[in-house]
Structure 1
Amino acid sequence: EKVFAKYSGTYEAMQGGTVVQGLEDLTGGIGYKFDLTKDCPEKGGVKQWIPKGHTPGRLWDEIMEKMKTEHVVGCTCTTKGEPRPQTTAKGILLNRAYCMVTGGDFEDNKLMRLRIPLDENGNAKEWNGKWSDDSSAWNSRLRQMLHFSKSSNDGTFWIEYEDFCKHMTKVYMCRMLDDLWTRFTVKSRWMDETAGGCTNFISWRNNNQWILNITRPKTKLVIKLTQPDARMSAGHGRHYSNAIGFYIFKGNENPGDHKRRKLVLKDGDEEDGGDFVFCKEPRFSRQVTVEYTFEKSSPIPYILMPFMFEPGRESLFRLTILSDDRDDDGVPDFGFSDVKPEDDWKRTTLLDAWSRGGTGNALGEEESAGGPVTGPLEQWTK
C-alpha cells in the first residue's frame, strides 16, 4: 500500500480510478474493457442489460484466447445506482471486481471459474445458481475432470457462460508483457506552438510528430497515449478536461523528405490515395490504446502524431509503442524515431510592410501598397 501510494503521489490519489487503470499500474501491461450491455434503439439508444438467453459467442472466444496468451481477465457487475435484485439473489455482489481463474468447454458446457477476494473474516459470498458448490448439475466425471472442491470459504465458484452474460456487465483484460516485447516510450508535452490540436485546425502541423518505418508485412503495434492521472489534481480518476487521440499519416513521398514532419495532407484514406491511415478519435480519458496491424511493408515511412482536440491546451503526455518480437532476436520489427531539428523543414521569415509612402511614414517612405494584380498596372507593380 505504501509503495502504491508513493507511485500515486498521495494516499488520497489512490481513491477512485478504474479497474483497467489498476491492472495496468500493477502489472505494466495493456488493459482493455468489454461492455456486456447493448444499445436499445426502442429506448433512444440507452444502454440496456443483455436480454435473457442472449450469449455473445464472439466474447467467449475472445476470453478463451486471452486466457491462453498471458492475460489477466476479470469482470464486474456495475449498476450505477440501479437495483438488480435478480443478480444479488444469486449471490453476485454489485460493483465488486471478480478474477477469472480458468474456463473452457466441458462436455458441451461453457463453464468459467471466478474468484472474489475474501472479506476481513476470511469468508466470501459466492454464486448460488447453476454449477455452484451445491448445484445438482455436477456429475462425478466433471468433478474429477475439473478437480471440483466443495469448499464454501475459498472465494471461488463455477458459473455457466450464459449466466455470466446475464449477471455481469463488464469484462476486463490486461495483457502481460515479457522481455521479448519491443517497447518505445516517449515523455513529452503539448505546449505553446506544439499544442496544435486536431486536423480541424490549420495549426495541427505544429504538433510533435514521430516517424514509423514498417519494413515487414503484418506488423502489429500496440499504441498507448497517456495523460496525467486526474486524481493527482482533481481528487478523482474519471473526469478529464482534455480529449486526447492520435493520427497515423502516410509520410512524405519524396525520399529527401522522409525524415521531415508532415505539413500538407491529402484528403481520403490510404487505399483511396489519401494520407489518412488511422485515427484514434479523441476521448476524455487517462489513456487511449489501439492495436493496429500494418498489412504491408512500405518504403514510405508513416507519421504518428498525438494530439488534443482543441489547440492551445497544454499538458504532459506519454506515448508508448509496443510490439511482439516475432523473431525473438532482440531486434525491433519496425523503426521508430523522432524528427530531428537538423533534418526537419527550415523556416525563413520575411518582415516587410505595405506602405502608402510619404515622409515620416513608419511603414516606409516609398509607396508599396499597390493593391491586387487585377488593378491598374502602374499601381500593383509598386
Structure 2
Amino acid sequence: MGIGDSRPLPPVPKEEDKDIDFNEDTIDVPPPPEPKADPDIRENVEGSTLYNVENVTTEYTEIKDAIVDKSNATGKTYVYRDQEFPSESISLYYSSRPPSRWDTIKWKRPTDISRDPRLLTDGVGSEDIVQGQLGDCWWLASCAAISRSATHMKRIIPQDQKMTGPDYVGMFHFRFWRYGKWVDVIVDDQLPTMNGFLCFGRSADKNEFWLPLLEKAYAKLHGSYQAIEGGFTQDGMEDLTGGIAINYDLGRKTPDSLFTILYKAFRNESFVSAGIGGSGNIEDRFTGLVSAHAYAMLKVARAAYEGGYVDLVKFRNPWGGSTEWRGDWSDSSTKWDTMDESVKRQLGYADKDNGEWWMSYDDFTTYFNDVTICTVGPDFDADGAPSGDKWLLSTINGEWKSGVSAGGSRNDIYSYATNPQYLLYLQEADDYDPDEDSPAEKGKCSVLAGLMQEYRRSGKEDGLDNLYISLNIFKVSQPPRTRLDARFFSRNREVATTSTYVNRREVTITAELDPGYYVIVPSCFNAGDSGTFLIRVFTEKNVDIQDITG
C-alpha cells in the first residue's frame, strides 16, 4: 500500500517568534555530480564492506573550505546557495499548480527561524520526528524506525557539521543508499516555511534541524518535495540502510511465527514499520488509528501480566502529538493499573502525548494491514534477522527496452523469452551445522534475490509510475549457449518466484536451491514497458553470474 498524508497548517506565530533579522551574503558553488550506478554485473562483494559509507565520495569539505577562505579573505560572511536545488517553486513541486497554499511558502535558514539553531540537540530519537504538510509519512516512519540505531544515524548524518560559529557555511550533507551505491547529497539550509514556521517535517524541539534538512536532501535526491509524497516504508528503510526489506501481510494472512520473527528482528537490530490501508488519512475516533498511514514499530515485548504473559508492540506515529491508539494497552488504558511497576519500568511505559504507545500483538495484527522488516544483510531463513556473520552480494544492472528486451509476462511465452536473462551458477552448498540448521537445509544453497526498478520516483514529473514487476528463477541442467527460448518456457516452470506482478519498487525471492545452474528472468507484466532495474543476489558462498541475453 502506498501511503502518504499531511498535517494541518502551522499556527500563526506569536510576536516573539517572528523572523529574526540576519544579514548575509551568499556564494554560488557548483554542486557535485551524483555518482552513477555501476554498469553490468558486479559479483561477490563481501557483505561487511557494503555498508562502509565512510568511503562515499563527497565534495562537502572542499566546498566548505572554499567558502570559509572567501569569508576570511574579504571579511564578510558567505554561506552556500544550492543552484541545483534552488529555493524556488521548482524544488517544491512539479505539478502545473502548487499544492494547497504552497505558493505562500518562503524559504528561511535556521538562523532566521530559531535564536539557538542546532543540527542536533541531544542525539537522534523517534520522538524528534513530527510530520508537516508533506505526505511523506512512509519516509518519516522509516526515519523513526532507523533512529533506534545511533550507529546507523551517524552514517546517514555526518557528525562534523555546525549550525553556528566560524565553521557554519549554510551547507549540510547526508548519505543515502541509492540503487546499489551510497551517495552523498549536499544541500543549503534554506527551508520551506509558512508564517515563519517550518511547514514540512520538523523536530519536536524547535531549535533542532536535522530532520527538515535530511528531508530536504531526500527531496533533492528525487527532484522535488512533491516527488516524495506517497510511498512504501520498505523503500525508505532500504534507502537509509542499504539493507533489504521483506513485507508480511496481516489479518488472516498473518504468519504463525510472526511474533517470533519480530522479536528476533529487534534483538538483531533490524528495523520494522507497519501500515494501515484505506484512503483519506482519516483518524478513527474509536481506535485513534489513521487510514492510509505508516507507523514505525519501536519495540516488541512478552511481558509478565496477571500470572501469565502478554505480547505487546510499541509504535510511533510520525504525526506526533495525541493521535495515538485508544484501545487496550494505550497510554491511558486501565490494563497498566494491574501490571507490576517493575515490568512497566522495563517497558519504559509513559502516559505522554508524544505519538508513541503500546498495544497488544493481537490488536496490531487485526488493525494493521502489513508489516515490513528491513535487515542490513540477507534474511535467508525469514526469521527477521540477518543470516550469519558473512555473506556475499552480486548485483546486476539491466534494462527493459521496448521492442528489444521488454517481453512482458508468461501470458505470451514467445514475447516472455525476449526478457533479459542471467545465468546463475551456485558452485557449492552452504556450510551445514546440525545444531542450528534444519535437515532440509543440508546440501542446499540459501539465496535471496531482489528485483528493484530504478528511478521511477525521480520521474514522477514525467508521469512515471512503478511498473508491475516479477522475478523468476529457472533450473537448467547445463549452461545454455544462448538465451532460453519459448520452447523451454512452454515445458518448464520456475523453481522460485516472487509470484504475482506488483507495482512495488522491489520484489524479493527467498529460496533453498541445490547447487547447479539457474537462469534468472526479470520481467514486467506488460510487454513493451521500458525501464532500468537492479537485481541483488545474496548468497553464503561464491556464485558466478553471466548475462546470456545475447
Match of 1:137 in 2: 335
| 2:484 counterpart of 1:276 | no
Q: Work out whether residues 281 and 292 of structure 2, in 8 Å CA contact, stay in contact via their aligned partners in 1.
A: no
Partner SS, residue 79 of structure 1: coil
**Compared with structure 1, are the counterparts of its residues 171 and 142 closer, same or farther at alpha carbon in structure 2 (3 Å cutoff)?**
farther
Counterpart-to-counterpart distance in 2, 1:133 and 1:111? 13
Superposition RMSD in Å = 3.3
Counterpart-to-counterpart distance in 2, 1:91 and 1:339? 52
| Cα offsets for 1:68-102 (capped at 9, x unmatched) | 343211223333259774xx324334443222222
Match of 2:418 in 1: 206
Partner SS, residue 13 of structure 1: helix
Counterpart-to-counterpart distance in 1, 2:392 and 2:344? 42
**Cα shift at 1:283:** 2.1
Partner SS, residue 335 of structure 2: coil
Counterpart-to-counterpart distance in 2, 1:77 and 1:266? 39
User: TM-score, normalising length from structure 1?
Assistant: 0.67
Pairing of 1:164-179 with structure 2 (within 5 A): 164-177=364-377
Match of 1:193 in 2: 404
Q: Work out whether residues 248 and 279 of structure 1, in 8 Å CA contact, stay in contact via their aligned partners in 2.
A: yes
Counterpart-to-counterpart distance in 1, 2:462 and 2:530? 20
User: TM-score, normalising length from structure 2?
Assistant: 0.48
Partner SS, residue 137 of structure 1: helix
Partner SS, residue 211 of structure 1: strand
Counterpart-to-counterpart distance in 2, 1:154 and 1:219? 46
The partner residue of 1:96 within 247, 270, 293 is: 293
Q: Residue type of the partner of 1:316?
A: T
Match of 2:514 in 1: 296
**Cα shift at 1:112:** 1.5
Which one has a bigger Cα radius of gyration?
Answer: 1
Which 5+ residue runs of structure 2 have no aligned equivalent? 1-214, 378-385, 430-442
Partner SS, residue 206 of structure 1: coil
Q: Work out whether residues 281 and 290 of structure 2, in 8 Å CA contact, stay in contact via their aligned partners in 1.
A: no
Pairing of 1:230-309 with structure 2 (within 5 A): 230-235=456-461, 239-240=465-466, 242-253=467-478, 257-258=479-480, 260-263=482-485, 264-265=487-488, 274=492, 276-281=494-499, 283-298=501-516, 301-309=517-525
Q: Work out whether residues 230 and 237 of structure 1, in 8 Å CA contact, stay in contact via their aligned partners in 2.
A: no
Match of 2:312 in 1: 111
Match of 2:547 in 1: 339
Pairing of 1:32-111 with structure 2 (within 5 A): 32-38=246-252, 57-81=256-280, 85=284, 88-107=285-304, 108-111=309-312
Counterpart-to-counterpart distance in 2, 1:105 and 1:275? 43
Q: Work out whether residues 451 and 508 of structure 2, in 8 Å CA contact, stay in contact via their aligned partners in 1.
A: no
Q: Work out whether residues 111 and 160 of structure 1, in 8 Å CA contact, stay in contact via their aligned partners in 2.
A: yes
Counterpart-to-counterpart distance in 2, 1:198 and 1:78? 28
**Compared with structure 1, are the counterparts of its residues 136 and 338 closer, same or farther at alpha carbon in structure 2 (3 Å cutoff)?**
same
Q: Residue type of the partner of 1:338?
A: Q
Which 5+ residue runs of structure 1 have no aligned equivalent? 40-54, 269-273, 326-332, 345-382
Q: Residue type of the partner of 1:304?
A: I
| Cα offsets for 1:213-254 (capped at 9, x unmatched) | 1221332222121223443334599944x432222122253x
Match of 1:18 in 2: 232
The aligned length equals 303
Seq. identity, % = 25
Match of 1:44 in 2: none
Q: Work out whether residues 28 and 176 of structure 1, in 8 Å CA contact, stay in contact via their aligned partners in 2.
A: yes
Q: Work out whether residues 282 and 309 of structure 1, in 8 Å CA contact, stay in contact via their aligned partners in 2.
A: no
Counterpart-to-counterpart distance in 1, 2:398 and 2:255? 41
Counterpart-to-counterpart distance in 1, 2:510 and 2:546? 20
Partner SS, residue 276 of structure 1: coil
Partner SS, residue 143 of structure 1: helix
Q: Residue type of the partner of 1:172?
A: T
| Cα offsets for 1:142-200 (capped at 9, x unmatched) | 53562434341444322112222333233222222389442222222122432333442
Counterpart-to-counterpart distance in 1, 2:317 and 2:497? 38
Counterpart-to-counterpart distance in 1, 2:315 and 2:503? 29
**Compared with structure 1, are the counterparts of its residues 210 and 166 closer, same or farther at alpha carbon in structure 2 (3 Å cutoff)?**
closer
Q: Work out whether residues 212 and 334 of structure 1, in 8 Å CA contact, stay in contact via their aligned partners in 2.
A: no
Q: Work out whether residues 423 and 547 of structure 2, in 8 Å CA contact, stay in contact via their aligned partners in 1.
A: yes
| 2:378 counterpart of 1:152 | no
**Compared with structure 1, are the counterparts of its residues 6 and 165 closer, same or farther at alpha carbon in structure 2 (3 Å cutoff)?**
same
**Cα shift at 1:212:** 1.2
Match of 2:538 in 1: 322
Which segments of structure 1 move beyond 6 Å, counting only runs of 4 or more? none
**Compared with structure 1, are the counterparts of its residues 210 and 16 closer, same or farther at alpha carbon in structure 2 (3 Å cutoff)?**
same
Counterpart-to-counterpart distance in 2, 1:128 and 1:196? 50
Q: Work out whether residues 16 and 237 of structure 1, in 8 Å CA contact, stay in contact via their aligned partners in 2.
A: no
Q: Residue type of the partner of 1:293?
A: A
Q: Work out whether residues 314 and 356 of structure 2, in 8 Å CA contact, stay in contact via their aligned partners in 1.
A: yes
Match of 1:361 in 2: none
Counterpart-to-counterpart distance in 1, 2:317 and 2:282? 21
Q: Work out whether residues 248 and 303 of structure 1, in 8 Å CA contact, stay in contact via their aligned partners in 2.
A: yes
Match of 1:222 in 2: 448
Counterpart-to-counterpart distance in 1, 2:444 and 2:217? 40
